[in-house]
Chains A and B, each alone.
Chain A
Amino acid sequence: GIQVEQSPPDLILQEGANSTLRCNFSDSVNNLQWFHQNPWGQLINLFYIPSGTKQNGRLSATTVATERYSLLYISSSQTTDSGVYFCAAVTTSGTYKYIFGTGTRLKVLA
């Protein structure tokens, strides 16, 4: 089945810094989503982005489907950005189900 790998696994930033998180997937995808899991465990939808680029405030995401990767950009990071970021992919073949990436644990220091 599809493999979804994220990098880096851990990231520590000073408040105000920018960062790029990467998600690589091993097969073609119908859907690629980015989530933020807050310290209480709630998954928050960030982007639905099977291809192209989207922006929402300080966050933006780009998926290059032909090269099988997606990037999440965080600009001017804030302490509230801390948590775990997951990407999840739905493949184009077989049953449609989310395969979650390995996650990036982000800590933003004040």
Chain B
Amino acid sequence: GAVVSQHPSWVICKSGTSVKIECRSLDFQATTMFWYRQFPKQSLMLMATSNEGSKATYEQGVEKDKFLINHASLTLSTLTVTSAHPEDSSFYICSAHGPGQGPTDTQYFGPGTRLTVL
């Protein structure tokens, strides 16, 4: 199956700083990628849909200015948490549909990035 990678795997930062998380599709092109957030012992919540070459679509309640998404190429989407605060500490996961697949097909998930804001 398709492989999605994320970097870094974990990051610790001070309150007020910005953190960038990368999501890459390996060996395939992904016109659409998805960003999820998961709090401890909770389910995954979709934050935004990242579209190559255009603006991301954010879910209701997700602050666009705080969670900046850039999908500049067909294999890379980035999520930047700006002015991070302790309440932003979470597990962030990205995903993409496999090569040649449509919006109702399988999504493949990255390994996740654990963010801790002190």
Number of interface residues of B (CB under 8 A): 25
A25 within 8 A of B: no
Which label, helix, strand, loop or mixed, suits the secondary structure of the B interface? strand
Q: Is B43 a contact of A102 with CB atoms below 8 Å?
A: yes
Q: Is B109 a contact of A43 with CB atoms below 8 Å?
A: yes
CA distance A7 to B31 in the complex (A): 35
Number of interface residues of A (CB under 8 A): 23
B49 within 8 A of A: yes
Q: Is B109 a contact of A90 with CB atoms below 8 Å?
A: no
B 15-52 binary contact with A (CB < 8 Å = 1; else 0): 00000000000000000001010100111111001000
Q: Which of A11-19, A60-68, A75-83, A92-100 lies at the interface? A: A92-100
Which A residues have a C-beta under 8 Å from some C-beta of B? 30-31, 33, 35, 40-43, 45, 48, 86, 88, 90, 95-103, 105
Q: Is A97 a contact of B34 with CB atoms below 8 Å?
A: yes
Specify the chain B residue showing the minimal Cβ separation from A42: B111
